[in-house]
Amino acid sequence: MPRLSIVVPCFNEEACLPALHERLTGAARDAAGEDYEIVLVNDGSRDGSWAIMQRLAESDPRLVAVNLSRNHGHQLALTAGLDLCRGQRIFIIDADLQDPPELLKDMLATMESEAADVVYGVRRSRAGETAFKRATAHGFYRLLSRATDVDIPVDTGDFRLMSRRALDALLAMPEQARFIRGMVAWIGFKQMPFPYDRSERFAGTTKYPLGKMIRFALDALTGFSSAPLKLASHAGLALSVGSVLLILYIAYAWSAGRNVPGWTSLMLIVVVLGAIQMFVLALMGEYIGRLYNEAKQRPLYIVQEIAGGDPRPGRLGYLADATANSDRPGGKGTRPIK
């Protein structure tokens, strides 16, 4: 078991990979000598990322390249890397080099001096990001902090260092819709913040456009808070009270011989009530959809092949047979990696 594992999910990062490998190798040797491994997870990239990872694995015996069968999404690709790594300390970082790998040594020192199980990066600044991105991120983290019972630190990403026992606790949670920074906060143990300044993306474009950001925010809110359902309940109660008052007004107007407002006011009420009902149904659908996905109990990811190294068999996914890894434990065919 190596002292350190570095886990990196990658999607269309061919322009970043050579510099990423060089900087990660330097940071790992500075922090752990030669006792480390680097686990790169290819999340169904459509560029030349996998070919570059294979070449890096051939030239570096401490690098393990994992190729998923398709694009599973950032959080599941990260889960695959965490599930397959073997280190006593696990360093999580994205491939775009916005989070400096050179902070690893200081984060390890903080973990040792504070006897912490998790050291998580807190962004003091976010270079290269638009005002819209900074404003929405600022608002999202504070809304999430207020809406959940779990104390999820604000202005943090997945950039962090974890102990093996913290990772084992994380991997004991097999839910499909994963918000890993929230799940890490949920497991507890001693967790220490590590302030740093985020850099600009080294190359390429962001892999989180607006649509994915909204989906990610919904996963976070529905995964760690029942507040949206409570909001729906409160809205339903308010509408019920309003309906009763409206009925009483109509009865009073009819008994007094007054004309009840006509078509315009009626249609306005119908539209407002219909919009709120659809909103409530959409919120309920989010939770029901999560229950549906969990009930299927599908593996979280499928590994197509592995190049280099020999990572610890995982628990949460499937390993599909390929020529490149036919000599690995488990032999031919498709099997759960348990």
Tokens 């990423």 appear where? Answer: 20
Whether residue 199 is found in the same domain as residue 270: no
For residue range 177-191, what is the model confidence (pLDDT) as tens digits? 788 888 888 888 899
Residue type, 151: D
The pair of three-digit structure tokens given for residue 156, joined into one six-digit string: 């943090």
Domain count for the chain: 2
For residue range 91-113, what is the model confidence (pLDDT) as tens digits? 999 888 888 999 999 999 999 99
Please, are residues 143 and 85 in contact by the beta-carbon 8 Å criterion?
A: no
- The pLDDT of residue 132: 61
**Domain extent at residue 81:** 4-224+298-336
Write the CB contacts of 76 (distance below 8 Å, at least 6 apart in sequence).
43, 178, 300, 301
Please, are residues 12 and 46 in contact by the beta-carbon 8 Å criterion?
A: yes
DSSP 256: T
Whether residue 34 is found in the same domain as residue 110: yes
Count the residues in the chain: 338
Please, are residues 86 and 95 in contact by the beta-carbon 8 Å criterion?
A: no
The CA-CA-CA angle for residues 73, 156, 177, to 5°, reads: 30
Whether residue 121 is found in the same domain as residue 247: no
The pair of three-digit structure tokens given for residue 193, joined into one six-digit string: 């913040």
Whether residue 40 is found in the same domain as residue 66: yes
Q: What is the CATH number of the domain that holds 213?
A: 3.90.550.10
Whether residue 43 is found in the same domain as residue 139: yes
The pair of three-digit structure tokens given for residue 167, joined into one six-digit string: 């990772």
- The pLDDT of residue 67: 92
Write the CB contacts of 149 (distance below 8 Å, at least 6 apart in sequence).
224, 225
Whether residue 144 is found in the same domain as residue 34: yes
Three-state DSSP class for residue 24 = helix
d(CA 168, CA 150) in angstroms, rounded, equals: 19
Whether residue 176 is found in the same domain as residue 231: no
Whether residue 194 is found in the same domain as residue 288: no
Whether residue 292 is found in the same domain as residue 303: no
d(CA 169, CA 188) in angstroms, rounded, equals: 9
- The pLDDT of residue 98: 87
- The pLDDT of residue 154: 76
Please, are residues 116 and 190 in contact by the beta-carbon 8 Å criterion?
A: yes
Whether residue 248 is found in the same domain as residue 141: no
113, β-bridge pairs = none
Closest CA to 3 of 114, 119, 105, 120: 105
Under-70 pLDDT residues of the chain:
126-150, 201-272, 274-275, 278-279, 282-286, 289-296, 310-313, 321-338
320, β-bridge pairs = none
Write the CB contacts of 325 (distance below 8 Å, at least 6 apart in sequence).
305, 306, 307, 319
Whether residue 181 is found in the same domain as residue 284: no
Whether residue 95 is found in the same domain as residue 169: yes
CA 203 to chain centre: 22
DSSP 260: P
The CA-CA-CA angle for residues 107, 58, 82, to 5°, reads: 40
